[in-house]
């Protein structure tokens, strides 16, 4: 039996599992599916075309499954699928897919802190953390165990790799490779491997050493990009570093660059948004 507060509005066409708790002033629309053991705190809203797995916590004022924020409106729009054991805190917003066949997907065991936003057509994996006021644009893909610091913003269609760590207030406009740490604030550049996250998640010293070797090939040796890809494919065929080549092969927006750029880099582009103190433009290796 579900426990529904007297002030909550639950459409009779919604589907509620066992032991669901719906707090004061909540709204659950027609067609919403809420799995066993879920809990909605006061003023939480679950919109139609939304499916929640089991044992999810939805915080006060959260709006789950709202229509995509897009100038071209599809009616009724896509769907939102949320897995199990997620903690979605106060005033979080998650939008369903944009067109009628599209879906936004949130996996299992994630924590979305106060005021974070997941836009239409995003895919967030498992065990991810979005700290307060993180913003994911449309079609963003976040892999398992990624960590996004407070108020970090990710541009639409970007990807954040597995176990990447992004600092607070970072501006992400290109893909973030797996296992990488990106500095927050105005820099938003790669500053090394996420070694703390790797150790906490059980990666061995040998695996971390392998990732360091691959990191040097990618960022430190000044090789042509085609050569980097060839080396990654030939020399890192197993272990966690094998994920680099697969990730880079699928990239369409380019990749966040390291703060320290090798002088041997053969292809460089000028970033006109970052003037140096000396008047010349800072260059980022492509």
Residue 163 sits in a domain of what CATH number?
2.160.10.10
- What is the distance between the alpha carbons of residues 111 and 132, in angstroms, rounded to a whole number? 10
The per-residue pLDDT for 263 is 53
The single residue of 31, 137, 138, 149 carrying the catalytic annotation is: 138
Residues 10 and 148 in one domain: yes
> Given this model, what pLDDT does residue 194 score?
98
Same structural domain, 162 and 225: no
Give the tens place of pLDDT for each residue, 202-232.
Answer: 999 999 999 999 999 999 999 999 999 999 9
Q: Using DSSP, state whether 179 is helix, strand or coil.
A: coil
Active site residue 74: no
Domain with 130, as residue range(s), is 3-193
Tell me which of 138, 169, 193 is where a domain ends: 193
- Of the three residues 151, 171, 193, the one that is the final residue of a domain is 193
- Same domain flag for 201 and 71: no
Of 81, 120, 133, 141, the catalytic one is: 120
pLDDT number for residue 264? 54
Q: Are residues 131 and 63 in the same domain?
A: yes
Say how far apart CA 55 and CA 218 lie, in whole Å: 41
220 in the same domain as 149: no
Examine the residue annotation and report whether 185 is marked as an active-site residue of this protein.
Answer: no
On whether both 15 and 32 belong to a single domain, the answer is yes
CATH number of domain containing 207: 1.20.1180.10
- Parallel, antiparallel, or unpaired for β 27-28 and 9-10? parallel
Q: Is there a single domain that holds both residue 134 and residue 36?
A: yes
pLDDT along the chain (286 residues), means of 10: 96 98 98 98 98 98 98 96 98 98 98 98 98 98 98 98 98 98 93 97 98 97 96 98 97 92 47 40 34
User: Which residue among the candidates 60, 108, 121, 143 is catalytic per the annotation?
Assistant: 121
Same domain, 23 and 90: yes
Whole-number Å distance between alpha carbons of 134 and 114: 9
Same domain, 89 and 44: yes
Give how many domains the chain has, as a whole number. Answer: 2
Give yes or no: residues 174 and 232 share one domain: no
Known active-site residue 83: no
């Amino acid at each position: 039996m579900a426990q529904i507060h007297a002030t909550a509005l639950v459409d009779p066409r919604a589907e509620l599992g066992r032991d669901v708790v719906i707090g004061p002033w909540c709204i659950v629309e027609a067609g919403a599916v809420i799995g066993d053991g879920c809990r909605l705190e006061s003023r939480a809203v679950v919109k139609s075309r939304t499916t929640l797995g089991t044992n999810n916590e939805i915080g006060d004022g959260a709006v789950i499954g709202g229509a995509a924020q897009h100038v071209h409106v599809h009616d009724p729009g896509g769907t939102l699928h949320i897995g199990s054991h997620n903690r979605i805190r106060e005033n979080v917003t998650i939008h369903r897919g944009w067109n009628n066949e599209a879906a936004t997907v949130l996996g299992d065991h994630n924590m979305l802190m106060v005021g974070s936003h997941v836009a239409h057509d995003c895919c967030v994996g498992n065990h991810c953390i979005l700290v307060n006021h993180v913003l994911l644009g449309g079609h963003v893909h976040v892999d398992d165990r990624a960590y996004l610091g407070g108020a970090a913003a990710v541009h639409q269609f970007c990807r954040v790799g597995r176990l990447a760590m992004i600092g607070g207030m970072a501006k992400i406009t290109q893909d973030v490779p797996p296992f990488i740490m990106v500095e927050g604030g105005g820099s938003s550049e790669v500053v090394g491997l996420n070694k703390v996250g790797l150790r906490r998640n059980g990666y061995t010293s040998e695996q971390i050493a392998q990732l360091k070797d691959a990191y040097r090939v990618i960022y430190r040796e000044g090789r042509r990009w085609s050569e980097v890809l060839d080396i990654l494919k030939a020399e890192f065929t197993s272990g966690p570093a094998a994920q680099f080549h697969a990730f880079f092969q699928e990239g369409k927006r380019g990749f966040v660059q390291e703060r320290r750029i090798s002088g041997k880099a053969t292809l460089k582009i000028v970033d006109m948004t970052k003037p140096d103190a000396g008047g010349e433009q800072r260059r980022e290796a492509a």
